[in-house]
Structures are given as structure tokens and as C-alpha cells.
Structure 1
Amino acid sequence: MVSPSTPFRPTRAMMLAAGLGKRMRPLTATTPKPLIEVAGKALIDHGLDRMAAAGITDVVVNVHYLADFVEVHVSHRSVPKPVISDERRQLLDTGGGLKKALPMLGPEPFLLMNSDSFWVEGATPNLELLIEAWDEARMDALLLLAPMVNAFGYDGHGDFFMTPNAEVRRRKERSVAPFVYAGVAILHPRLFEGAPDGPFSLNTLFDKAIEAERLFGVRMEGIWLHVGTPKAIREAEAAILESAL
């Protein structure tokens, strides 16, 4: 256990890589979305590289669609060291996939990342902002939230509001919220107490944490790039080039 005087840093993570990637067709007809390249690197490697820089040593990667391709790809990595959570027989959605993987993630809070989470960093790496803000006494989940004004390729109405003390509230129907969930979070395993078996959305547990006043957010720095369609890949690469210039 970490002593009270030592800031907690997660060493384990979950990479969600089992989705079907339907909006990315026709590219995903033969290539799983996590392996589609943006700026010369597979989406999943962008995320895994950021995990490694943040001190993550072990990562659980769930697989379903074109699972063999993803499994072989990540097997070549040593940092973070990958372990596969196999969902070939049944796709379990975000919540169900995480619950299945909990025994491999251990009892401590862990980092969660969608395999297509993609951004251009600001002054401070966003995983560092997330880790520094984690407070186990107050939080069951801490989300990385991208301001809508800095979200490229996203055409939704936002997901959340954030109070002055960083508590998160969900957007109501027919309204617009200033923040969108960037697909990155720190979660405590206790969030899954009483969770159902089989497929279910992680949003169910986010709502439970909101009711308990234990869901918090961190404002992302830099630019969040929603890489959801083939067109969005070109837009993301253009944004990366513009940022570099």
C-alpha cells in the first residue's frame, strides 16, 4: 500500500480494444480500429506509449473483433506489459469488459483508456494531470474531460458539466454541455460493487457514482481529436501538423 504521504500513481491499466469500429468502415472491414494508423502509428500505440510515459507497467487489453490481429500486435510490446482479456465469445460492452478484467487489474485504482482516445498535449501531459488530481478518499472515478471548444471531429452535444470543486454532472436531454468524456479515467475497483454480470455500459456505473457524489473530472489541456470516421483521420493528422508548426 502507498503511505499517506506518498501520492498514489497507478501502475496498472485497462485498454478497451474490443469494439467493432462500425463508423470507421470500410477501413475496419479488414483492420480492427485500434490498429488503424494516425500520423504513422496505430491508435492503440499512441495510447500505450502515453501509458508507458506515465509509469504504467502492466496493461489489460480486451479483444473481440479481429481479435487475433490486436493480440499479435500488442504481444510485441514489453512496456507496458500486455495481458489479454478475451471477449471473442461475447462482446461485453465497456462495463462488462472491465468487470471481467478486474481480477487481472488488482485491488488498487487503475487507469482506463479507450484504444481510440487521441489528443495533442498541452503544457502538461494529460495523464499527469489526471494522476495528480486523483483523491481516493473522495473519488470512485475521475474522468478526463475535453472542453467542447477544443474538441475536433466531434459533432455531439457534450456529455458533462463540472462544478467548481470538479464534481461531474451529466447533460440533460435537449441541452448542451461544455465537456465531452475523452475516454480516459482513473477508476477504483469498488465502483464495480454490485455491478451486473454480462454486457453493460460503464455509463451505468458513472451514474451510480454521480448519485453518490463520487464522480469527478479533470479539464484536459491541449486538443482532443475524435477519430471516429475515415475522414476524421485526415482531420486529426492535419491538426497534429498544425500544432507542430
Structure 2
Amino acid sequence: MTDPIPFRKPAGPRRGMVLAAGIGKRMRPVTATVPKPLIEVAGRPMIDRALDRLSRAGVEEVVVNVHYLADLLETHVRKRKNPKIVVSDERGALLETGGGVAKALPLLGPDPFFVMNSDSFWIEGPRPNLDWLISGWDDSTMDALLMLAPTVASIGYHGPGDFLMDKEGRLTRRPERTIAPFVYSGAAILSPRLFDNAPEGAFSLNVLFDRAIAGGRLFGVRMDGIWLHVGTPESIREAELSVAESAA
């Protein structure tokens, strides 16, 4: 009997971006004095969990955009040595998810890169989820590869989901008045070409996702483990209980 062939992780993006400029309205009153990315869940700020995962995936440099309570956030992330942090300053105007990445493109370089929400939070399965993204990326067919969580099995998420996925992993939007099987978890690999002819100023990444859908170039990977949606003060405790159970 031969030994199984070990999994060898292919080389992935060396740069990434963590979206951290949001105001966090649904997290009030917690975010009255603390930016949402610095809220602690199970003793660790959420943005550090995102940066840790990127570092473990081989990312060497991460752009973090700042707007709300920017000084606090910038001071915190600049203490890190791994990965290297570059700040994209949005103090003058909040650019939303798409506009924030578009502004940072000169810092991200010409190659595909990770993008993560600063509150992207999950309990890993047997294989790290960013490794799934790396192994699933095909630059010839994709402009974006999203990490998707099962809609009904996610903790703290009560929405109708976002996407349908075919057997090749190609995504389409949820039809109206239906429940989609998958919700975007806030982690993805994006190609800079996704931003060709992008809108000026503030806009959502969803604008570009819809354009990629029209071209058949938006794909997804189903995540392992459990996605924790931490969007309200009440959901912090729910996430902490899930973390404690997973460690038991």
C-alpha cells in the first residue's frame, strides 16, 4: 500500500488588501469609540485574525484602508511586522468597497491579489480556506474568485444568501424572492483587470461582480468549516461561543 500523495499548496498572491474603512453603523454603540476592525472576538481584534490568515497563506504585504477613527486603526496595524502593512488613506472621503480597492490598485501591483473584509471571520476546516482559493484560481478564465459560505449553516447570518454556483464554480445572482445556497464570506482573489473601466469615486464591489457575471468570469469556492457573521453587538457573543465550542 502506497502512502497518499501529500497536498502541495500552489504559490498564491503575495499581496492583499483588508477593507477596514467602514463606519460600522450596525455595531453601534460598540463602534462609537472603537472602529469595527478593532472589536475583539474571543480576545483578538477581528482585523488581526484577517491579517494572520493572509500571512499564513503566504501574503507578504497587505494594504489596509482607513477612514472612520483612522488614527486608532492606523496606529494598531502599523505595529505589525508580518505581513508588512501599507495604509491607504481614505480620511477625506469614504469610497466603499469597490472604490477603496480601486484607489489602492497602484499599491497592489499588476498581479491577482487577495481582498478580505476586516470582519471576515471563520472557524477553519481540515484545510485552510485561503488555500482553497489559491488552488482554485485560474487566471485564464476568472476575474474574481469568491469564498462562499453555505447560507443556512452560517452563524449569525440571517439573510437570503447571494449566489447560485454551477458545477464549474461559475456564479450567478440569487433570483428575487428565493433563498440562495451561498453567501459571500468577505474573502476573495481578484484580478486587477476586474477594475478596467471601473466607476469613479465611491462604489460597491458588487458593481464589478455583476459585470464579471455578465462575462462569465465570476467564480466561487465553497469554504470548509464555519463562517461567523459578526455584524451586530449581539453577534459578538454568538461568535465567541462558536469559537469556544470549536476549541473544546
TM-score of Structure 1 vs Structure 2, range by shorter chain: over 0.9
- Match status 1:72 vs 2:75: yes
SS of structure 2 residue aligned to 1:150: coil
Query: Which 4+ runs in 1 deviate beyond 4 A?
Result: none
1:148 aligns with 2:170: no
Amino acid of the residue matched to residue 162 of structure 1? M
SS of corresponding position for 1:149: coil
Equivalent positions of 1:9-158 (< 5 A) are 9-158=12-161
Q: Which ranges of structure 2 fall in alignment gaps of 5 or more residues?
A: 1-8
Question: For 2:34 and 2:184, how far apart are their aligned partners in 1?
Answer: 25
Q: Report how far residue 149 of structure 1 moved.
A: 3.1
State the Cα distance separating 1:109 from its structure 2 match. 0.1
Offset from partner CA, 1:36-86 (integer Å, 9 cap, x none): 000100000000001111110000000000000010000000111000100
Shift of 1:189: 0.1
Q: Secondary structure of 2:18's match?
A: strand
1:222 to 220, 225, 233: 225
1:3 corresponding residue in structure 2: none
Q: Which residue of the partner structure matches residue 178 of structure 1?
A: 181
* Alpha-carbon distance between aligned partners in 1 of 2:29 and 2:80, rounded to the nearest angstrom: 28
Task: Give, in angstroms, the shift of residue 7 of structure 1.
Answer: 4.2
Question: Following the alignment from structure 2 to structure 1, what is the Cα–Cα distance between the partners of residues 72 and 27?
Answer: 17
1:8 Cα deviation after fit: 4.2
Per the normalisation by structure 2, the TM-score is 0.95
1:233 maps to 236
Q: Which moved more, 1:7-16 or 1:76-85?
A: 7-16
From 197, 200, 203, the counterpart of 1:200: 203
Alignment RMSD, CA only?
1.0
Equivalent of 1:163 in 146, 161, 166: 166
1:188 equivalent in alignment to 2:191 = yes
- Any idea what the Cα deviations from partners look like across 1:66-111, whole Å, max 9, x if unmatched? 0000100000001110001000010000000000000000000000
Q: How much identity, in percent, do the aligned residues show?
A: 64
CA distance in 2, matches of 1:98, 1:193: 12
In the alignment, the residues of structure 2 paired with residue 147 and residue 153 of structure 1 have an alpha-carbon distance, to the nearest angstrom, of 12
Match of 2:246 in 1: 243
Report if the CA contact (8 A) 1:150-1:222 is conserved.
Answer: no
